[in-house]
Structure formats: structure tokens, C-alpha cells
Amino acid sequence: VRYEDDALMILNKPAPLACQSSSRNAAPALENFLMAKYGDGFVFRPLNRLDKGTSGLMCAAKNAHAYQLMQRTLHTGDYLRQYLAVVCGRLEGSGVVDAPIAKEDAATVRRVVDFEKGKPAVTRWESQGVFGEYSLVRLTLETGRTHQIRVHMAHLGHPVAGDFLYGTELACLPGRFALHSARIRLTHPMTGEVLEITSPLPEELQNLLQ
């Protein structure tokens, strides 16, 4: 828990760890650990979710009122999410991926860029440097589609390193890929205070750049 008050908490999730338990995931999830910490009356109200294989910052509301107020700020300037990703290949400069995303089909969790059936999806990216066969990229989400960064980076021809679904799995990243939620900046729903929390790139992802 990186920040907490009566209205919200900002969490730094490790990977691989699912946010919530499901029929497909029998292993303990972040939700289970929080219920053990706060007791049986605790209700997990995540504002944004991270894939099991993604580490880093996410925000959850502590009550229904705060959740409703904060939901209105998603995908606005009052709720900024930035990620760091180690991607395959040489990627320099900056740009915007404006490419709609749709589910590939009913039998899979994969998403694809689909300009006819997809929902709008916009990702801003800026290269932070090239390191051998990899590049470090800072990404800012303007929308929140499932697997958005992973799909958009693969669409650019630079899949996230270790992404078993849209690229190639890496033995040095068991159960995860090289995507990290590095920064959250939000306007507090009760006080109007601007909160900004950052999280450095995990060691196993730094090692890829060396």
C-alpha cells in the first residue's frame, strides 16, 4: 500500500499476481490479500486493473461514494496513468497509436486492432532509449481497453518483451512480461488535492536493459 486514507488506496502490485480471483484463476489474488488485511467486510473497488503479468501502481476506492466520484475522472486529465515497457526492437522518438481494439473471438482473451468493429483506443508513447535488442518506452493511456498497451505495441511491430500472448515468452520473466505501471496522478475526490505516486522499474525489467 503506497498511499491510503478514508476514501482511496494506491497499491503497488507485483507480478505475476491477478487483481481478482476468478474461475480461471484458482491462485490467491490481490483481492484475497486485501481481504485478509482489512477483514471480511472489505470490498475491493479497483478503479483500474492490471493484468496478472503487469506490475505497478493501481488505485482502489475505499467506499462506494468515492468509487462513483473517481469513476467520473477516468480517462480525463484528473486521472493520469503512465507505464514503462521494455519492448522488442529499436524504437526511437515518440508518437500516438490511435487504433481501435476488439476481441479476437469468443474463444480467446486475445484482442486485436480492428478498424471496423473495434472500440476507440489511444496510446501515447515516448522512447526513453535503446538498449541492445530492446527499447524502453514510456506510455500514457488516453483510453482503457483490455490489453491496450500490449496490443498497440505489437501493432507497431514492437511487442512487449516476454509477452506470451502478443509476442514471445522469456524464461527470465516467469509468469510476467516487461510492462510496469510507473506513475499515477489523480485529483482526490473528497479534498481536491492532487496526488502523485511513482514506482521505479522492477529489477528484473532493468536487467533486460543491461
Q: Which residues are catalytic?
A: 51
Task: Give the span between the Cα atoms of 96 and 139, in whole angstroms.
Answer: 9
- Reduced to 3 states (helix: H, G, I; strand: E, B; else coil), residue 134 is strand
Residue 106 backbone class (left: φ over 0; alpha: ψ -120 to 50; beta: rest):
alpha
Cell of 71: 469513476
What backbone torsions phi and psi does residue 207 show, to the nearest 5 degrees? -65, -30
CB contact at 8 A, 208 and 180: no
Give the count of beta carbons closer than 10 Å to the beta carbon of residue 125: 24
Classify the C-alpha dihedral 28-65-198-78 as positive or negative: positive
